[in-house]
Structure 1
């Protein structure tokens, strides 16, 4: 098995300057002089560093990629938005949407981030790689065609898919988004289409607070090709695996995509500072194993992971390493240093019964 890992040091250099996430400065709120965004390079850099230390990098096809071209971006984003983004970037940076600050050169870094996803998908579809992981930064799943938000400046996965369609590589795609926040941008881009199945498993009304409802199933030709699974806070390992087994995997298998793309966020982990879920390293390992096994059955193993959120510097690297282990079949392990702690935090029997009953309700509504 050949697993690609796409990354570039320049993506770690994306920044937003001084920025307080939610609190207005004044009264009892001290200004954050050195920054303030949870989306910072260290979660990604520490994942790459951990991979170097364990030696798993020696078993992967490690590489960068060219920036996505203007033409690639324009298949998803209007020329007017791209022009304003480029001009603002060249002038020193700024902010075009909600919680999307960037510095000088931010346009080129965002195009590189999209380029990593594009090239990962291209090589998997061409058969050069069995599967791949793109360490894209800035992330992309919240970005709508003309309005960036939630740290996302360009929609990396949508750009990669449209490039693959334009190249005639595939005609049927599935996107599984297990980032803890709703993948509203990817949903919006493909909402009226049946050539891209979109599934989002997320914390209900975390971000954005007005999207991701279970009743949002698509429109027109896309009716039935969008699935939202909004979970209450406190869902942990068993709940996520039950969701995979009863809802996600059957939907993917019925659709029979030519490739599966995972919007791979790690912010559903128990230590994430801006979410309220209880997933563990083993949750991400088990979800990856399930999707990889399904991909082997339905699409010759063609599977691409594109990095999205995840804001615990200490824990994201271990969750990400487990995903890479499962993708590549490597024996180079990075054991969870907090395994005993995360086990204690899992829902008790009564709470788990509540989540199972909720999934039964979802199953009736979504799969009936």
Structure 2
């Protein structure tokens, strides 16, 4: 529980689990009242999220949280980020049974409304934190959002959840300067593109180099015009584990936040840097995500009165994501309801050895010098 007496907010909705692969899978019409058959059809399946929520019930941690859903993001909310032409095309295809608008972004009938609901969860989490309703928050958004550009969805992302939330909070006068820390293993190219010319939103992406997208996420991409210096890309080689990630956060991310002095910190919380993820090659553990969350929580307490929002992004190991997510929520809420990592011994054995840690630390030295204040 929060030391202030306010709870951690946890925002989720069963309907987000029903986002389906459409033309990637056989999705039969079943009346709209139960989850579609073959609702996965994608590596981005509902099961990582559903199993996290179920684990939270089993451990009892859900009882320590302020649990809520949210309205769909309104068209007004969406238009602050996405052009009407994109939204109209998406809605028309969604109503007609689904399809695919961009790259690796299939959806079934009703996909538009589910994407708007996913963005609505992120928006509500941010607004409630800014209003002081909750101490901090976690939005279990699905589909994810950090790859979505204003008019071009890709990488399973159909609407820019975090950007939609930021723009709503700024429109209501609740936030001015916002920092986004993206530790999803893939580069947050959508969030970067939306804020590349602006100095009121600091975007930081810690990602596996040249995983996805292949052509974005370079160190040299630091923003443009007013946004020069307000975009930080931290590409890491394959194989970085717990020590490397914690060092990057401590030596580069936290100092960047201290220089920026945000009103709120938002984390694009992907779990695909986890050691068992099938489409990445990093070696993070559940404890890694817990420590990084604590680092962000401490920074938020120091810089912005504890205002911290986590928005769920990627992570594709149905067995391991629930434990990584639970560890994040333990750190957010200071709950005593724990979910011990069942693979703790194995993942520790598989961490980089001292020689590799020293090699990675040398690379982090170079990154730290590049982004020194």
TM-score range, shorter chain: over 0.9
Q: CA deviation at 1:136?
A: 0.1
Mapped contact 1:142–1:150 kept (Cα < 8 A): yes
Deviation at residue 350 of structure 1 after TM alignment = 1.2
List runs of 5+ in structure 2 lacking aligned partners. 26-37
Alpha-carbon distance, 1:18 to partner: 5.2
What's 2:301 paired with? 296
SS of residue matched to 2:121: helix
The answer on 1:274 being equivalent to 2:279 is yes
Deviations 1:62-89 (A, max 9, x none): 0000000001000000000000000000
**Conserved? CA contact 1:116–1:135, under 8 Å:** yes
Deviation at 1:200, TM superposition (A): 0.2
**CA distance in 2: counterparts of 1:270 and 1:154, whole angstroms:** 28
Asked if structure 2 preserves the Cα contact closer than 8 Å seen for 1:17 and 1:35, the reply is no
Q: How many residues align?
A: 356
SS of 2:22's equivalent?
Answer: coil
State the 1:19 CA deviation: 2.5
1:102-181 superposed matches below 5 A: 102-181=107-186
Q: Does 1:262 align with 2:267?
A: yes
User: What TM-score, normalized to structure 1?
Assistant: 0.95
1 CA distance for matches of 2:338 and 2:76? Answer: 40
* CA displacement 1:324-343 (0-9 Å, x = unmatched): 00000000000000001100
What is the RMSD computed on CA atoms of the aligned residues? 1.1
Tell me whether 1:191 sits opposite 2:196 in the alignment.
yes
C-alpha distance in 2 between matches for 1:35 and 1:193: 36
Secondary structure at 1:334 match in 2:
coil
Q: Is the 8 A contact 1:18 1:34 kept in 2?
A: no
Q: Does 1:215 align with 2:220?
A: yes
Q: Following the alignment from structure 2 to structure 1, what is the Cα–Cα distance between the partners of residues 321 and 259?
A: 32
Runs of 4+ in structure 1 deviating by more than 4 angstroms, as ranges, are: 33-36
Under a length normalisation based on structure 2, what TM-score does the superposition of the two structures give?
Answer: 0.94
Map of 2:250 onto structure 1: 245
Verify: 1:348 aligned to 2:357, yes or no: no
Cα distance in structure 2, aligned partners of 1:352 and 1:120: 36
- Deviations, residues 312-331 of structure 1 (Å, cap 9, x unaligned): 00000000000000000000
Tell me if the contact between 1:204 and 1:233 (Cα under 8 Å) persists in the aligned partners.
yes
Q: SS state of the match for residue 367, structure 1?
A: coil
Rounded to whole Å, the distance in 1 between the matches of 2:242 and 2:160 is: 28
